[in-house]
């Protein structure tokens, strides 16, 4: 059956039993979904709530409610509706599996994004999370191999740390450039890019949320790199 954009199966997920019992996080998701459904002719044919972590090699196997929601989508031709993309997963294989299931899904925080955009964003979020631990481990091993005394201070160690930070910053810019280019192709303003990056859970270079100034500097640096 062909999916129709006015018929939805809603799916909510919280990560712990404590959050599920208290409603922490769930109320915000319900409010976001309700705002998206209001004002136009959009109906829901089912609602599912999951309380779990979603961690592991096969997150879908730990989400029986999501499996039921997907089955209902297939039977009714409805679209799976979630409040935020990260409520499904930041695992690119998991998002890819949803795409291959032939069930359309829509995130209220990215209603205009196509499946390619969502795939790119999820891939970057997963890659960056993995690389954080890898960079830390590699940097410590490289410093130790050069004779740096870990935990010590001094001009030599300070220069080493500065060089490593500069290299990490360059690597980060190169990985993020395709994402920024994709947003630019969609006609997003710099301020809209900030909102999109924060909504997807992609961390800024120092690990916190994005600001307008950070996006402007990163975009300017990318332009200078391409012109040189």
DSSP 64-85: HHHHHHHHHHHHHTPEEEES-G
Average pLDDT of the segment spanning 169-190: 81
Most confident of 17-21, 53-57, 134-138: 134-138
Q: Calculate ∠ Cα 200-206-210, nearest 5°.
A: 40
What pLDDT was estimated at residue 218?
Answer: 80
Task: Kindly provide the b/e burial profile for residues 120-155, where b requires at least 16 CB atoms within 10 angstroms of the residue's own CB.
Answer: bbbbbbbebeeeeeebeeebeeebeeeebeeeeeee
Query: Does 94 or 36 have the greater pLDDT score?
Result: 36
Check whether 145 has a pLDDT greater than 60.
yes
User: Which of these ranges, 10-14, 79-83, 91-95, has the smallest mean pLDDT?
Assistant: 91-95
Check whether 115 has a pLDDT greater than 90.
no
Give the C-alpha separation, 50 to 96, whole Å.
20
Check whether 134 has a pLDDT greater than 80.
no
User: What number of CA atoms fall less than 13 Å from residue 110's CA on the CB side?
Assistant: 28
CA dist list (Å): 155 to 8, 141, 198: 60, 19, 36
Check whether 45 has a pLDDT greater than 90.
yes
User: Which of these ranges, 13-22, 91-100, 175-184, 217-226, has the smallest mean pLDDT?
Assistant: 13-22
* 1 band by pLDDT with thresholds 50, 70 and 90: very low
Check whether 2 has a pLDDT greater than 50.
no
The token pair that represents 79 in the structure block: 């679209």
What pLDDT was estimated at residue 48?
Answer: 93
Average pLDDT of the segment spanning 151-177: 66
Share of the chain above pLDDT 70, in %: 65
Tens of pLDDT, residue by residue over 79-89, are 999 988 766 65
Average pLDDT of the segment spanning 130-142: 71
What lies within 8 Å, CB to CB, of 11 at 6+ separation is 47, 48, 49, 50, 65, 66, 69, 80, 81, 82, 87, 88
């Amino acid at each position: 059956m062909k999916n129709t954009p006015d018929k939805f199966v809603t799916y909510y997920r919280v990560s712990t039993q404590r959050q599920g019992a208290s409603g922490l996080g769930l109320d915000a998701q319900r409010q976001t979904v309700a705002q998206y459904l209001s004002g136009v002719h959009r109906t829901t044919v089912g609602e599912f709530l999951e309380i779990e972590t979603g961690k592991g090699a096969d997150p879908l196997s730990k989400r029986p409610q999501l499996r039921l929601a997907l089955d209902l989508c297939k039977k009714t031709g409805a679209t799976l509706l979630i409040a935020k993309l990260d409520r499904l997963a930041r695992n690119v294989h998991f998002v890819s599996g949803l795409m291959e299931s032939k069930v359309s899904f829509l995130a209220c925080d990215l209603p205009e994004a196509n499946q390619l955009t969502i795939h790119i964003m999820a891939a970057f979020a997963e890659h960056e999370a993995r690389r954080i631990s890898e960079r830390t481990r590699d940097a410590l091993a490289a410093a130790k191999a050069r004779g740096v005394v870990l935990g010590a201070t001094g001009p030599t160690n300070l220069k080493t740390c500065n060089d490593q930070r500069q290299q990490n910053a360059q690597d980060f810019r190169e990985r993020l450039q395709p994402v920024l280019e994709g947003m630019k192709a969609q006609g997003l303003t710099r301020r809209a890019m900030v909102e999109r990056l924060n909504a997807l859970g992609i961390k800024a270079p120092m690990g916190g949320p994005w600001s307008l100034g950070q996006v402007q500097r990163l975009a300017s640096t990318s332009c200078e790199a391409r012109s040189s």
